[in-house]
Structure 1
Amino acid sequence: MSAPVVLITGALTGIGSATARAFAREGAKLIVSGRHDDAGAKLVTELKELGGEAAFIRADVRREEDLRALVDQTVATFGRLDIAVNNAGTEGTPGPVTEQTVESYAATFDSNVLGTLLSMKHELRVMQAQGGGAIVNVSSVLGQAAFANTSVYTASKHAVEGLTKAAALEGAPYGVRVNAVAPGPIDTGMLDRFTGGSAEGKAQLVATIPLQRAGAPDEIAQTILFLASEKASFITGHIVNADGGKRAAL
């Protein structure tokens, strides 16, 4: 596909921005979204320098009116929507189950689960009508596993993977593919927060990965590009592990 139209939520940092840069290098037309105008403008400038057409639209994935407008503005800007990457999310508040609250649950599930659901609702609305497209949700190694002190985040990523499979079945008759990528520990700000900013904590986590290193955001971006491409044209409803062997060792 030449110059696909790509929408990325949670595009301003980490895996999201790496994915935006990867698509820009391929000459894509990009709508990048997040909640910070200054960071959005900076990213758009970078994407244009890399060869992509790009615009920033501010949106909060917890608000359906924002997502409806985001998708409609994408179509108004570029005429269609070919690829959507639903990356917006949060690690929430790690800690024991006994310390979780209604508020910590809602904060995590509203971003990770409701945000993914509402994003797909409006992306599918457009893609089904136009007769095709590809959606890639960002899950986690915890989407099919569990570790202590990650209960709410783990539950949210289980939900993202369930949503992905159900949406894939609904989108398939219209030529819309829906998959997810499940990263292991990736060298981002989220990893720093999970390990408390401790070099020792990070080293201990990395030691549990068979490849003996954390992943790079661009490695996840390349996996997303593959799932969104015609090279993956017969793949839908699939969760692709990109975790350095972490899930295989569980």
Structure 2
Amino acid sequence: MKRVLVTGASGLGLEIARRYLNAGDQVCLLSQSEASIQSALESTGPAAIGVTGSVTRSEDIEHAIQRMCDAFGGIDCAISCAGINVVGPSLEVSAQTFSHILEVNVLGSFLVAQAAGRQMATHGGGSITFISSVYGESGAPQRAAYCASKGALHTLTESLSVEWGRYGIRVNAVAPTGIRSRMVQSLIEQGQYNLRGVEARTPLGRLAEPEEVANACYFLSSDQAAMITGHILPVDGGWLANGYII
């Protein structure tokens, strides 16, 4: 049985939490939204606990891990899922918006990894997984800050895996294509997401399902992935592999 920290208590974060809970693991959800935590806990049962806090505040993350140590006896896995995106012309995006995206997506992920890593380093190791994106490998219009943040996550993954391997800590990332979710559906309805274009480029011809991304996270933290670290695992239906423009 694994003891797992998941940041984000709705959407993909909740789906990831359910994947671990369904396998009999114990989960702590960290989210800024107390309402999201309460809703998640009502649907997940007694093997989950929730902590209200921000991934950009190290003291909030440390509090969540202390809660895990008190309730579960420690931490084995951390899944850094919390992230944001703002779509808009790069000629108009403000420095404040750009900085905020990097703060949540990059600094927040690092602080989660750092706090979890400190505990894991003195207790036999563990597994850390970042939720990245195919946009960490290639650019996209009107998403400069988001793409920059995900590219940073890829090199952060590699850097931490090299530095922390001696502690038995594995660090990987999952890089999905668009996920069939309320957020993506909202972007489609606002004309800010080219669904037909994504489906046309994707050899498997569709978006990823949330449970498919959750399964990838579960695999990377499992014993079956014991020799995998520093890896960026695309869950993209072949999107990155396709260099053919129709």
Q: How would you bin the TM-score normalised by the shorter chain?
A: over 0.9
Q: Please name the residue that 1:131 is paired with.
A: 124
Q: Is the partner of 1:224 in helix, strand or coil?
A: helix
Paired residues, what number?
243
| Counterparts of 1:86 and 1:200, CA distance in 2 | 24
Q: Please name the residue that 1:232 is paired with.
A: 225
Residue 196 of structure 1 deviates from its aligned partner by: 4.4
Q: Is the partner of 2:48 in helix, strand or coil?
A: strand
Residue 234 of structure 1 deviates from its aligned partner by: 0.1
- Unaligned runs of 5+ residues in structure 1 are none
Q: For residue 89 of structure 1, what is the amino acid of its counterpart?
A: G
Task: Encode CA deviations 1:67-93: one digit per residue, 9 max, x unaligned.
Answer: 1212222212211100110000001x2
| Counterparts of 1:197 and 1:18, CA distance in 2 | 25
Task: Encode CA deviations 1:120-146: one digit per residue, 9 max, x unaligned.
Answer: 110000000101100110000011111
Instruction: Go from structure 1 to structure 2 and tell me whether the alpha carbon gap of 1:77 and 1:198 turns closer, same or farther (over 3 Å shift).
Output: same
| Counterparts of 2:13 and 2:91, CA distance in 1 | 32
Q: Indicate whether 1:245 and 2:232 are aligned.
A: no
* Alignment RMSD (CA, Å): 1.6
CA contact (8 A) 1:206 1:214 kept: yes
| Counterparts of 1:154 and 1:38, CA distance in 2 | 29
| Counterparts of 1:227 and 1:200, CA distance in 2 | 29
| Counterparts of 1:196 and 1:122, CA distance in 2 | 38
Q: Please name the residue that 1:84 is paired with.
A: 78
Q: Please name the residue that 1:6 is paired with.
A: 4
Q: TM-score, normalised by structure 2?
A: 0.94
CA contact (8 A) 1:192 1:198 kept: no
Residue 96 of structure 1 deviates from its aligned partner by: 2.5
Which stretch has the larger CA shift, 35-44 or 160-169?
Answer: 35-44
Q: Please name the residue that 1:20 is paired with.
A: 17
CA contact (8 A) 1:192 1:202 kept: no
Q: Indicate whether 1:163 and 2:153 are aligned.
A: no
Identity level (%): 32
Q: Is the partner of 1:192 in helix, strand or coil?
A: helix
Q: Aligned ranges for residues 102-113 of structure 1 at < 5 Å?
A: 102-113=95-106
